[in-house]
Amino acid sequence: MSRRRLEGRTVVITGASQGQGAAEAEACAHEGARVVATDVLDEAGEKLAASLRAQDLDVEYRHLDVTAPEDWCALADWLAEHRTAIHGLVNNAGIPMRARLGAVETADWNRAFAVNTTGPMLGIQALAPLMTAGGSIVNIGSVAGLTAHHAVAYTASKWALRGLTRVAALELAPKGIRTNIVHPGFIDTPLMASANPVFAAAHLSLTPQGRPGLPEEVAPLIVHLLSDESSYTNGAEITVDGGYAAHGGVKAITNALDADR
């Protein structure tokens, strides 16, 4: 039997109670990782961890508010107390803020940055010192961070996450730690379930594959980036979006031409 790709490694995943984070936790555990699944949704997180342990997978849930430095310090202290070296960090936690430029409130703007950008920064500060050479950090961005997008706070926070990723890739590489960012498109998760149906239909009309992605279609890439298979991949930005970001708006032209036939 071939060795599993994350055998003997410990991976911390934020926002892991449901959706994409839960799929990432399961995929990493199936590849042999000890997974520390974190979230603020404690009931869902405990339920996920219990269900995966029932499959003989090594998953533990810990409460973590990514915006709280004291929570990150507590997690780092807990890991250090258990003499647990960290091999991977997936900064998956994120929130939508859908107000447009003329309507966004400062509190919502600040909240989007606190979760989507500051949270990953705090995680890197807290856990990178516990990482061994060969460690890997994966930030979860968005196609909204690649173009202009109607949700201004969310968009700006994901653009900022790209900058954080690049700086971490530069700063941590001498320690043997890689940092990359993945940009999902329309993925069928609880986050997207609350989106305006008009937005959903428009987004999918601009997605060449014409359908939402599934969390299980993102998770294998996260496993790859955490594994030695990507040992020379650092500072990369990878889309998982059905081709959404590839056409630069030209899909609207092809749609119009097809309608004119």
Residues with catalytic annotation?
154
The sheet with strand 86-91 has its strands ordered as 59-63, 34-39, 10-13, 86-91, 131-140, 178-184, 237-240
Note whether 90 and 24 are within 8 A (CB). yes
Rounded-to-integer distance, Cα 167 and Cα 157, Å:
15
Place of tokens 């055998």: 7
Note whether 258 and 203 are within 8 A (CB). no
H-state helical runs in the chain = 19-30, 42-53, 69-81, 106-113, 119-127, 152-172, 190-193, 197-205, 215-226, 250-259
Rounded-to-integer distance, Cα 212 and Cα 93, Å:
20
> 4-38 burial by CB neighbour count: b if 16+ within 10 A, else e?
bbbeebbbbbbbbbbbbbbbbbbbbbbbbbbbbbb
